[in-house]
Amino acid sequence: MEESEFDFIGDLDAWRAIHSIDPESSVNVLVDKIGKLGDLSLLQTALSELPDWFENDSYGFSLGQTWPFERREELLAALPPEHWHAVILPLVSNTDPEVGLDWLLSVFRAQTTPQMVRGNLVARMDWVGEMIQNSNRSPEERAALRAEFEGESSSSMGKIVAGDVSRFLRGEEDRFYQFHTGNVGASALLDELLKHRSSLEGHEDEVRSKVFAHLAETNLHLALELYENDSLETVDDQKLRAAREAFHGVNPEKFLQLMQSVGPGNEEMLEVWKGKTESNLERYGEDYLSWLRSLPEEPQKWLALEAVVEMGQERYPELVEDAQLQIQNR
């Protein structure tokens, strides 16, 4: 049984006997046989013998993984629509990503596809979104596809590019770690990414900004290589953008260093501090305020304390009171 050596096609009576003893294992082996053989007759027999077997989506997943993709329409025709979602996604993951995505979209868009099936696919948007994100289509096309599935909560092109950059830096080769250890420079990483993902052509500025935001978290000085030929105003804009979009869960010391490197008097600074304050209060509590109190008397300290006053009113009244006192006594 465990080695899938039992021939169910030749003796379903024997399979029924085994099923009465070990239902889960017997269904696993049966599904494996049906998928690998692409046997519609055996599938119909299984559906009549086990009308509730698809209540466990893992069986449908196994069937979709093993069923021949070129015979996908036959499989859907044989299954009740309420079970399509269980096989569609593993089916498309078992072929060329672009071909699979095109077919998935055709199923989703077809007027003959029941609304229930569309709803089930939308409910599995994490997986569908991963397929879209890994597509070779342009960021605009991928953003439009996500919007088609997600409706009003569609991803912006910036989020699409951010996903590309993140997967590239933190993939199997972990280029982020290579940068962290000094084995590769920021510009070399940017060049490699643009060569690796041709669909990003025409979005070089956005890609550079996203790469900088990621790398600045670990080493701001080395990340600035990406903007070494740009004006100070441009560099400051990119630093503040990185501060807004990245530096989540990062040591506040690193965030402070980034903010201190921005030219004085920038009107966005308070808003940027506010964007990180609530999570810092949640993570560090009183320790966060103690750290702020220990900082030198410089603009970033007061901006950070003002952010505490504005962002902590509801959940951290005692810390807010302390921060207000610090500001009054400056």
pLDDT digits (tens, 9 = 90+) for 76-100: 999 988 889 889 989 998 899 899 9
pLDDT digits (tens, 9 = 90+) for 19-63: 788 888 778 888 888 898 898 988 888 888 777 777 777 888 899
pLDDT confidence band for 185 (50 / 70 / 90): very high
CA distance 258 to 301: 13
Give the global pTM. 0.74
Mean pLDDT of the chain: 89
- How buried is residue 317: exposed, middle or buried, by Cβ count under 10 Å (0-12/13-18/19+)? exposed
pLDDT confidence band for 202 (50 / 70 / 90): very high
Cβ(305)–Cβ(327) under 8 Å? yes
Whether 247 has a pLDDT exceeding 70, the answer reads yes
- The 10 Å CB-count burial string (b at 16+, else e) for 44-66 is ebbbeebeebbeeeebbbbbbbb
pLDDT digits (tens, 9 = 90+) for 287-310: 999 999 999 999 999 999 999 999
pLDDT recorded at residue 14: 73
3-state secondary structure 26-76: HHHHHHHHHHHHCCHHHHHHHHHHCCCHHHCHHHHHHHHHHCCHHHHHHHH
pLDDT recorded at residue 311: 95
pLDDT digits (tens, 9 = 90+) for 209-223: 999 999 999 899 999
pLDDT recorded at residue 110: 92
Report which DSSP code applies to 184: S
Whether 240 has a pLDDT exceeding 90, the answer reads yes
Three-point CA angle 113, 147, 271, nearest 5°: 155
- How buried is residue 241: exposed, middle or buried, by Cβ count under 10 Å (0-12/13-18/19+)? middle
Q: Which helix (H) or strand (E) holds 283?
A: helix 269-284
